[in-house]
């Protein structure tokens, strides 16, 4: 990797100042923990002139509870999120997912906002400048073909943040601030199925906070991922499950996926499981439903069919733990 180039670094103390500083720069980027962005800069993938540092903004660093609600600032670190008592109590999958990101040192400074806004990944893209140049780059950055699907014009780089699929289980909303003011958006609508342009954020928009309603006490949730290096690695497939079982029957079921497509998403058509007996047949059907929608492409060294199969198996295992 290359050395970091000279960059102008701003230290705003408020969301409004951060947005103004970003708007004033010709090619500025928001910088939180830097564990994704700085790597991409050193690989020559990103070339901003200035960075707007977010971790001195008090509003973005708090986890606050109101009746039935929780709000988590965009600059809350992953360690804080993983250790937060109300998050662990009401949104176990979110705390577990945060605790599974990278290694302990990354979680110390990596943030929720950075995790939700991190770039998509592909084995042909997350490489040094000389490696990519020797391979004629690719569609996502400076090149003309996709090495994963050479016949097409679409990029399949995978969104590989751990926390998003867990937040999707709880219909999380994101609060955004930009040059035109603030707005709220369903987290699901922050993403689009395009590895080259996977975020719907407007120009200069900042993710200020995530808001969620607490689920009923009958709801359980959990997160698990498959990865090459158990101590520190992105998910080959990450699976979040939300489930409630009463009188032996499933009364609530959602499954969120990451690492298998350009966006994190909830598995569709799970309504058919509501009212079904929580038994082995049901678990096997759930496994197959998840596997069928985890359409991983050749964006990692690990083959796609393994990632599809492991996604189904993880969903089956997580759901079984609550039967
Ligand atoms: C070795 C290694 C292993 C990793 N393993 C994992 C893993 O297992 N799982 C995983 O999920 N991630 C992993 N990561 C990626 C990264 O560490 C985490 O995703 C982390 O949460 C990113 O947060 P950050 O604050 O460091 O983001 P940054 O690098 O600061 O920012 C990432 C992107 O988000 C934008 N951004 C940051 N905050 C905001 C905001 N509030 N509003 C709008 N845009 C914003 C930045 O401009 C940038 O584009 C790994 C990284 C490394 C280097
Ligand atoms: S999926 Fe294709 S275009 Fe996208 S990063 Fe990989 S090689 Fe590049």
> 100 and 228: one domain?
no
Q: What is the pLDDT of residues 59-115, one digit of tens each?
A: 999 999 999 999 999 999 999 999 999 999 999 999 999 999 999 999 999 999 999
Judge whether 288 lies within some domain: yes
- Residue 190 within any structural domain of the chain: yes
> Mean pLDDT for the chain?
97
* Token pair belonging to 6: 């000279």
pLDDT in tens, 232-257: 999 999 999 999 999 999 999 999 99
Residue 14 lies in a domain: no
Regarding whether 286 and 230 lie in a shared domain, the answer is yes
Listing DSSP states for 183-244 in one string gives: EEEEGGGGB-S-TTS-B-PPTT-EEEEEEEEPPPTT-EEEEEEE-SSTTS---SEEEEEEEE
Instruction: Supply the pLDDT for residue 1.
Output: 79
Domain closes at, from 213, 234, 249: 213
Q: Is there a contact between 59 and 15 (Cβ–Cβ < 8 Å)?
A: yes
**Rounded Cα gap, residues 131 and 141, in angstroms:** 13
Same domain, 67 and 176: yes
User: What distance, in Å, lies between the first and last C-alpha atoms of the chain?
Assistant: 48
Shared domain check, 233 and 204: no
Ligand nearest to the CA of 161: 1
Mutate to test the pocket of ligand 2, among 145, 299, 300 (most ligand atoms within 8 A of CB): 299
What is the number of the ligand 2 atom nearest to the C-alpha of 156?
Answer: 1
Separation of alpha carbons 213 and 96, rounded Å? 18
Domain final residue pick, 213, 239, 256: 213
SS3 call for 257: strand
Token match 């006490």: residue?
Answer: 217
Task: Please give all residues whose beta carbon lies within 6 A of any atom in ligand 1, as ranges.
Answer: 29-37, 39, 54, 74, 78, 101-102, 106, 110-111, 113-115, 117-118, 160-162, 206-207, 232-234
Residue 52 in domain:
no
Tokens at 58, concatenated = 């008090």
* Residue 53 forms part of a structural domain: no
Q: What is the spatial distance between Cα 177 and Cα 62, in angstroms, rounded to a whole number?
A: 17
- For residues 206, 174, 140 and 33, what is the CA-based torsion angle, rounded to 10 degrees? 60
Same domain for 81 and 209, yes or no, is: yes
| CATH number, position 163 | 3.30.465.10
Minimum-distance ligand to the CA of 121? 2
Q: What's the number of domains the chain is made of?
A: 2
Q: What is the mean pLDDT of residues 18-28?
A: 94
Q: Count the neighbouring beta carbons within 10 Å of the beta carbon of residue 237.
A: 31
Same structural domain for residues 310 and 257? yes
Choose the weakest-confidence range: 1-5, 23-27, 35-39, 264-268: 1-5
Distance from Cα 127 to the centre of ligand 2, integer Å: 12
Ligand 2 atom nearest to 147, measured from its CA = 7
| Residues 174 and 72 placed together within one structural domain of the fold | yes
* Chain centre to alpha carbon of residue 97: 10
Main-chain phi, psi angles of 304, to 5 degrees: -60, -35
Residue having the nearest C-alpha atom to atom 14 of ligand 1: 102
Measured in Å, residue 38 CA sits from the centre of ligand 1 at 9
* Same domain for 261 and 172: no
How far is residue 242's CA from residue 221's CA, in Å, rounded to a whole number? 4
Q: What's the average model confidence in pLDDT over 288-312?
A: 97
Residue 158 in contact with ligand 2 by CB distance below 6 A: no
User: Looking at 213, 240, 256, which one is the last position of a domain?
Assistant: 213
Look up the domain containing 192 and give its range.
59-118+157-213
The answer as to whether 24 is a domain residue is no
296 and 176 in a single domain? The answer is no
* Distance in Å, CA 12 to ligand 2 centroid: 35
List residues bridging with 77 in a β-sheet: 111
Q: Which tens digit of pLDDT belongs to each residue from 101-159?
A: 999 999 999 999 999 999 999 999 999 999 999 999 999 999 999 999 999 999 999 99
| 125 within ligand 2 shell (Cβ under 6 A) | yes
Residue located via tokens 């198996």: 313
Task: Give a yes or no: residue 87 inside a domain.
Answer: yes
Looking at the structure, do residues 269 and 201 belong to the same domain, yes or no?
Answer: no
pLDDT of residue 2: 84
Question: Does residue 271 share a domain with residue 166?
Answer: no
Nearest CA to ligand 2 atom 4: 155
Percent of the chain with pLDDT over 70: 100
| Per-residue burial over 107-119, b = 16 or more CB atoms within 10 Å of its CB, e = otherwise | beebbbbbbbbbb
Tell me whether residue 38 is in a domain.
Answer: no
Give me the pLDDT at residue 26, please.
Answer: 85
> Based on the domain organization, do 261 and 310 belong to the same domain?
yes
Report which of 120, 102, 123 is spatially closest to residue 301, judged by C-alpha positions.
123
The bound ligand whose nearest atom lies closest to the alpha carbon of 142 is 2
Please give the order of strands across the beta sheet that includes 249-258.
220-226, 237-246, 249-258, 265-266
State the CATH number of the domain containing residue 269.
3.30.390.50
């Amino acid at each position: 990797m290359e050395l970091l180039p000279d960059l102008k670094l701003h230290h705003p103390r408020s969301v409004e100042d951060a947005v103004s500083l970003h708007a004033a720069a010709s090619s500025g980027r928001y910088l939180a923990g830097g564990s994704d962005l700085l790597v991409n800069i050193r690989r020559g993938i990103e070339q901003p002139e200035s960075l707007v540092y977010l971790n001195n903004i008090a509003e973005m660093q708090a986890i606050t509870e109101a009746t039935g609600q929780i709000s988590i600032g965009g600059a809350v670190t992953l360690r804080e999120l993983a250790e937060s008592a109300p998050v662990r109590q009401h949104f176990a999958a979110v705390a577990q997912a945060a605790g599974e990101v990278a290694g302990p040192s990354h979680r110390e400074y990596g943030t929720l906002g950075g995790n939700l806004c991190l770039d998509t990944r592909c084995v042909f893209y997350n490489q040094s400048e000389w490696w990519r140049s020797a391979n004629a780059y690719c569609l996502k950055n400076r090149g003309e073909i996709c090495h994963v699907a050479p016949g097409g014009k679409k990029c399949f780089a995978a969104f590989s943040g751990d926390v998003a699929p867990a937040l999707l289980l709880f219909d999380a909303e994101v609060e955004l601030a930009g040059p035109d003011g603030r707005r709220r958006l369903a987290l699901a609508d922050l993403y689009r199925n395009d590895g080259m342009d996977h975020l719907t954020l407007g120009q200069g928009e900042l993710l200020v906070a995530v808001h969620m309603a607490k689920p009923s006490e009958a709801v359980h949730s959990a997160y698990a991922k498959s990865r090459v290096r158990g101590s520190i690695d992105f998910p080959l497939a990450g699976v979040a499950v939300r489930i409630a079982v009463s009188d032996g029957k499933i009364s609530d079921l959602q499954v969120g996926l990451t690492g298998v497509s350009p966006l994190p998403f909830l598995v569709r058509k799970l309504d058919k499981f509501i009212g079904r007996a929580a038994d082995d047949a049901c678990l096997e059907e759930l496994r197959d439903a998840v596997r069928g929608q985890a359409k991983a492409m050749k964006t990692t060294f690990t083959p796609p069919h393994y990632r599809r199969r492991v996604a189904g198996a993880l969903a089956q295992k997580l759901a079984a733990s609550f039967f």
